[in-house]
Amino acid sequence: MPQVSLRDVLKVRDFRIFLAGRFLGTLGSQVQSVAVGWQIYNLTHSATALGLVGLAQFLPMVLLILPAGDVADRIDRRLIVALSYTLQAIAIALLILLTHLGTPDVWPFYLVLVLTGVSRAFAGPALRSFVPLLVEKEQMPRAIALSSSSFQVAVIGGPALGGILYIWGPLAAYGACLLFFVAVALAFVAVRTQHRQQPADPTLTAFGRVTAGIAYIRTQPIVLGAISLDLFAVLLGGATALLPIYAKDILHVGPEGLGLMRSAPAIGAVLVNFALIWRPLHRHTGLVMFACVALFGVATIVFGLSESFLVSLVALFVMGGADMVSVFVRSTLVPLATPPEMLGRVSAVDLIFISASNELGEFESGMVAGWIGTVPAVVVGGLGTIGVVGLWMWLFPALRKVDRLTDVKPG
């Protein structure tokens, strides 16, 4: 793809605002994640309590994400994102209040995290279906890659920034998050591009309209295979929730080390993403994706067994880089394979899978670590990821045979 195409995408004013807003929003979420995880582990010293952090944010996503996808197809997405980040700012203000009061119990923190989950449920489909509103169809692959880069750079900087800010206590970290979320809300108010609202299908009930994304994905084995592969691979192989335990009790590197470990996967991801911007996957896309997910499982096992901080960082780096290939393929494939009038609802289903692999994966990791120990839980998860790759290659041969992404079309 010629270099001028990249410049053309960056010339779009509203796309630049979108990139900045997504960057700040992700940065704030990562800082919040580090601060909440470290604060709750300090209060409880419990892997189970860390797992509940993910569950508190995942349950609202499960309950609300499908209606949120329908809302994203029918209401101005600028307004949805602005209101969602306003709600996140309110949630951060409540965390600041709880911290200032010195609350010894953790259940109020979980209630606030439920509010955060509600906000993310509505922001997610609107954000993931925003790029097609801002750029031309032929610019979408590169725009999506740039959006992913903005996200990954924030994922790199956010945990490190969160660890540094936590040196001065959780109030410093939460205060920075509050500023970020307010800035995101204001940024999307400034976007000029309006969402062309889709008329409701008179033949569909409200339930049918909300679940239309599920019905569509069920007819598209390539899409279903791609998003479900990511779900089960990361659900089993994700060790993010256990990083505070590794930082404090296994590697003994403190909050600064926790921030670096949270950043390492994103560093690998963003470097791979930059490589994909300049040299996209041209051939054998399906096989390359499966190979990288298997590599993710192997790196997870290495991380679980490591007692060296350097080896752990390298393993996390490889995990992030390998996972980025799957993320890139899915993020490009879903918009290309979905009619514009259904993109919000299909994106909502995709987000259910992503949230299950992340937040529910954190819950699963915390529960299993509480039962069999931290290191065995991570190793077993990595082995499970490798097993999923083999099973999915058999269940979804059409995905395995995908050659060029540009050949994928709706329906």
SS3 string of the chain?
A: CCHHHHHHHHCCHHHHHHHHHHHHHHHHHHHHHHHHHHHHHHHHCCHHHHHHHHHHHHHHHHHHHHHHHHHHHHCCHHHHHHHHHHHHHHHHHHHHHHHHHCCCCCHHHHHHHHHHHHHHHHHHHHHHCCHHHHCCHHHHHHHHHHHHHHHHHHHHHHHHHHHHHHCCCHHHHHHHHHHHHHHHHHHHHCCCCCCCCCCCCCCCCHHHHHCHHHHHHHCCHHHHHHHHHHHHHHHHHCCHHHHHHHHHHHCCCHHHHHHHHHHHHHHHHHHHHHHHHHCCCCCCHHHHHHHHHHHHHHHHHHHHHCCCHHHHHHHHHHHHHHHHHHHHHHHHHHHHCCCHHHHHHHHHHHHHHHHHHHHHHHHHHHHHHHHHCHHHHHHHHHHHHHHHHHHHHHHCHHHHCCCCHHHCCCC
Looking at the chain, the whole-number percentage of residues with pLDDT higher than 70 is: 88
Does a structural domain hold residue 390? Answer: yes
Predicted TM-score (pTM) of this structure: 0.69
Does a structural domain hold residue 4? Answer: no
Q: What is the mean pLDDT of the chain?
A: 81
What pLDDT was estimated at residue 206?
A: 56
Which of the four pLDDT bands, split at 50, 70 and 90, describes residue 183? Answer: very high
Range with top average pLDDT, 14-18, 47-51, 63-67? 14-18
Q: Which residue has the higher pLDDT, 104 or 293?
A: 293
Which of the four pLDDT bands, split at 50, 70 and 90, describes residue 184? Answer: very high
What pLDDT was estimated at residue 185?
A: 95
Structural domain boundaries, residue 69: 10-192+206-407
Does a structural domain hold residue 332? Answer: yes
Q: What is the mean pLDDT of residues 280-284?
A: 74
Residue 194 pLDDT more than 90? no
Does a structural domain hold residue 80? Answer: yes
What pLDDT was estimated at residue 2?
A: 43
264: domain CATH number is 1.20.1250.20
Does a structural domain hold residue 183? Answer: yes
Q: Which residue has the higher pLDDT, 281 or 77?
A: 77
Does a structural domain hold residue 219? Answer: yes
Does a structural domain hold residue 5? Answer: no
Query: pLDDT tens for residues 147-165?
Result: 877 887 787 778 778 888 8
Query: pLDDT tens for residues 294-338?
Result: 999 999 999 989 889 999 999 999 998 898 888 878 777 777 777
Number of structural domains (the chain) is 1
Does a structural domain hold residue 275? Answer: yes
